[in-house]
C-alpha cells in the first residue's frame, strides 16, 4: 500500500508508470505530474480504460522550482517521488524531498542545463583537473546529500534505469554469486533496433547527444583514462543481435562502481552506433547545432541543441516503427576459488514486443522497468536505508528476480567472448 508521485511524462516515464500499474500490490495510488499535464491526463485515461486498480491523479509541476515541487508533494503526500523528468531537475527534486522528508528515486546523474553558468563552470573545471574526466555530469552533487538524507531518515536511490541501474546490479550479483574477486568489467550497450530514420535519438535528444559527443573515458587502476570522442572502437558479435561496431564512452555507473568496488582494476563502457548516426552527429556538431550556449536569432535567444530537438522525431514516437533488439549487459573477468573466471550477464529486449505490450520502444522500456523496480524495492522496505545510494549498494537478488518477472529476463553465459 503506497502512494507514489511520478515527475515527468516522457518516453521513460510512460513505461515506468504503466509498469507501476502492473504492480498494483505495491503501487496503490499514483500522482502523475509534469510540465505538460495533458500527457499525464492521456496516460491516466489509457490506464483507467484498461481497468487499472491504481487510483491515479495528475498535476502540473515545474520541477526546476523547488517551491513548486514542495507544493505538489505537500498537496499529494506521497511516500516516495520518482523523478523521470530530466537530469537538470535532480537537485531541485532532491531538495524538495528533503524538505518534505520523502524518499527520492531517479534514473540519471545530475547535470546542469546551462554549462556556461560561472559558479558551476568553475567547480567543473576544478573537477576536470582533479579527477581527470570532462563529462558534464558526475556524482559529487548528489553524493553531497548523503548526510542530509541520513539525518532526515529518507532514502535516495540514484540511477535505477538500465545503464546505470541494471548494469550496476549485474556487478553486485556477479560479485555475490560468482566471484571472490572481480578484476575487470566491460559494460556493453547494443541497440540493434532500426527506426527507419536517417537520424533520430532513442531518448531525450539533448541528453543523448551531449553524452555521445563528449570525450570517452574508462577507469583503470584507480584512475580515469580519458579518450577523444569515439577514439576506441571494437566489434562484438552480440547474442540475438549480431555483429556491431561499438565505441568507448564515459558513463556514469563507472564512477560509482570505481568507488564502491575498489578491487576492480578496469571498468569500461561501450555503446554501438551505426555509421549514419555518427556521420549526422559529426556534421551537426561541426555546424554548432549541439551547442547549449544560447545564440541570438532574429532578436530572440535560442539554444541550438533545443532547436535541433524540436526538429528531430520525439523518441516516444519511435515505438511503432522500430524493429530489432537491444542487448545490454556486463562481461566480467576475475577469480573464484583461486581460478580465473569469466562471465557475461545480459538482457535481450525486442522493440516490437515492447511496443505491443506498452506502446513504447525498447530504450524507454529497458529504462522504465528498472525505474519501477527500484521504486518498488524502496517502497517495500527491501532497499530502504537512510542516505543516498546507487543500485550496486543493495542486495541484488530481489531486483534480479523482479527483472525476470516484469519483462527484462537476463541470461548468464559462463564462457563469453571477451572484448580486447
Q: Summarize as ranges the residues that interact with ligand NDP (CB under 6 A).
A: 8-13, 34-36, 39, 61-64, 84-87, 89, 107-108, 159, 161-165, 203-204, 207, 315-316, 367
Name which of 66 and 334 has its Cβ closer to ligand NDP.
66
What is the C-alpha to C-alpha distance for residues 326 and 338, in angstroms, rounded to an integer?
34
Name which of 64 and 220 has its Cβ closer to ligand NDP.
64
User: What is the CA 344 to chain-centroid distance, rounded?
Assistant: 21
Name which of 203 and 270 has its Cβ closer to ligand NDP.
203
DSSP string across 64-124: T-HHHHHHHHHHH--SEEEE-S-GGGHHHHHHHHHHHT-EEEESS----S-TT-HHHHHHH
Name which of 259 and 265 has its Cβ closer to ligand NDP.
259
CB of 295 to ligand NDP, least distance (A): 22
CB of 270 to ligand NDP, least distance (A): 15
Name which of 52 and 107 has its Cβ closer to ligand NDP.
107
φ, ψ at 340 (rounded to 5°): -65, 140
Name which of 103 and 206 has its Cβ closer to ligand NDP.
206
Q: At what angle do helices 362-379 and 351-358 cross, to 10 degrees?
A: 60
CB of 196 to ligand NDP, least distance (A): 19
Taking residue 287's Cβ as centre, other Cβ atoms within 10 Å add up to: 9
CB of 343 to ligand NDP, least distance (A): 21
Residues 380 and 28 sit within 8 Å (Cβ to Cβ): no
CB of 153 to ligand NDP, least distance (A): 26
Burial call 191-228: b when 16+ CB within 10 Å, e when fewer: bbbebeeebbbbbbbbbbbbbbebbbbbbeeeebbbee
Name which of 87 and 193 has its Cβ closer to ligand NDP.
87
**Cell numbers standing for residue 412:** 548468464
Q: Name the residue whose CB lies closest to ligand NDP.
A: 10
Nearest to 94 by CA among 393, 402, 387: 387
CB of 360 to ligand NDP, least distance (A): 10
Taking residue 23's Cβ as centre, other Cβ atoms within 10 Å add up to: 18
Name which of 7 and 54 has its Cβ closer to ligand NDP.
7
CB of 229 to ligand NDP, least distance (A): 19
**Cell numbers standing for residue 112:** 546542469
Which SS3 state, helix, strand or coil, does residue 312 take?
coil
Name which of 9 and 264 has its Cβ closer to ligand NDP.
9
Name which of 159 and 304 has its Cβ closer to ligand NDP.
159
Nearest to 362 by CA among 195, 199, 237, 218: 195
CB of 107 to ligand NDP, least distance (A): 4
Partner residues linked to 60 by β-bridges: 34
What is the C-alpha to C-alpha distance for residues 345 and 372, in angstroms, rounded to an integer?
21
Q: Is the peptide bond before 106 cis (omega within 30 degrees of 0)?
A: no
Residues 335 and 358 sit within 8 Å (Cβ to Cβ): no
CB of 415 to ligand NDP, least distance (A): 27
CB of 349 to ligand NDP, least distance (A): 12
Amino acid at each position: 500500500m503506497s502512494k507514489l508521485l511520478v515527475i515527468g511524462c516522457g518516453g521513460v516515464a510512460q513505461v515506468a508508470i504503466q509498469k507501476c500499474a502492473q504492480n498494483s500490490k505495491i503501487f496503490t495510488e499514483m500522482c502523475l505530474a509534469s510540465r505538460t499535464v495533458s500527457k499525464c491526463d492521456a496516460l491516466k485515461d489509457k490506464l483507467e480504460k484498461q481497468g487499472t486498480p491504481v487510483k491515479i491523479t495528475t498535476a502540473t509541476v515545474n520541477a526546476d522550482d523547488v517551491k513548486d515541487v514542495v507544493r505538489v508533494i505537500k498537496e499529494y503526500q506521497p511516500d516516495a517521488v520518482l523523478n523521470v523528468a530530466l537530469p537538470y531537475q535532480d537537485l531541485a527534486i532532491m531538495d524538495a524531498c528533503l524538505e518534505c522528508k520523502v524518499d527520492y528515486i531517479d534514473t540519471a546523474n545530475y547535470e546542469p542545463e546551462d554549462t556556461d553558468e560561472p559558479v558551476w563552470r568553475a567547480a567543473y573545471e576544478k573537477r576536470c583537473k582533479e579527477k581527470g574526466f570532462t563529462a558534464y555530469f558526475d556524482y559529487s552533487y548528489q553524493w553531497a546529500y548523503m548526510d542530509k538524507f541520513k539525518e532526515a531518515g529518507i532514502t535516495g536511490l540514484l540511477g535505477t534505469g538500465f545503464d546505470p541501474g541494471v548494469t550496476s546490479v549485474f556487478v553486485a550479483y556477479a560479485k555475490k554469486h560468482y566471484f571472490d574477486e572481480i578484476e575487470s568489467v566491460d559494460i556493453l550497450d547494443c541497440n540493434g533496433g532500426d527506426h527507419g530514420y536517417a537520424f533520430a535519438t532513442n531518448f531525450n535528444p539533448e541528453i543523448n547527444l551531449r553524452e555521445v559527443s563528449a570525450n570517452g573515458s574508462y577507469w583503470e587502476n584507480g584512475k580515469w583514462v580519458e579518450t577523444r570522442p569515439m577514439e576506441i572502437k571494437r566489434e562484438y558479435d552480440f547474442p540475438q543481435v549480431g555483429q556491431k561496431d561499438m565505441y568507448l564512452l564515459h558513463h556514469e555507473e563507472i564512477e560509482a562502481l570505481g568507488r564502491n568496488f575498489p578491487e576492480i582494476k578496469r571498468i569500461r563502457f561501450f555503446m554501438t552506433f551505426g555509421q549514419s548516426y555518427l556521420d549526422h552527429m559529426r556534421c551537426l556538431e561541426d555546424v554548432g547545432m549541439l551547442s547549449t550556449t544560447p545564440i541570438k536569432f532574429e532578436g530572440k535567444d535560442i539554444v541550438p541543441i533545443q532547436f535541433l530537438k524540436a526538429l528531430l522525431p520525439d523518441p516516444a514516437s519511435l515505438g511503432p516503427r522500430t524493429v530489432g533488439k537491444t542487448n545490454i549487459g556486463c562481461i566480467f573477468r576475475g577469480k573464484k576459488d583461486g581460478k580465473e573466471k569469466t562471465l557475461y550477464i545480459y538482457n535481450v529486449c525486442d522493440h516490437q514486443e515492447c511496443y505491443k505490450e506498452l506502446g513504447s520502444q525498447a530504450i524507454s522500456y529497458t529504462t522504465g522497468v528498472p525505474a519501477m523496480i527500484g521504486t518498488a524495492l524502496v517502497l517495500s522496505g527491501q532497499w530502504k536505508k537512510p542516505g543516498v545510494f546507487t543500485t550496486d549498494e543493495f542486495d541484488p537478488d530481489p531486483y534480479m528476480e523482479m527483472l525476470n518477472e516484469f519483462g527484462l529476463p537476463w541470461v548468464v553465459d559462463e564462457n563469453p567472448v571477451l572484448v580486447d
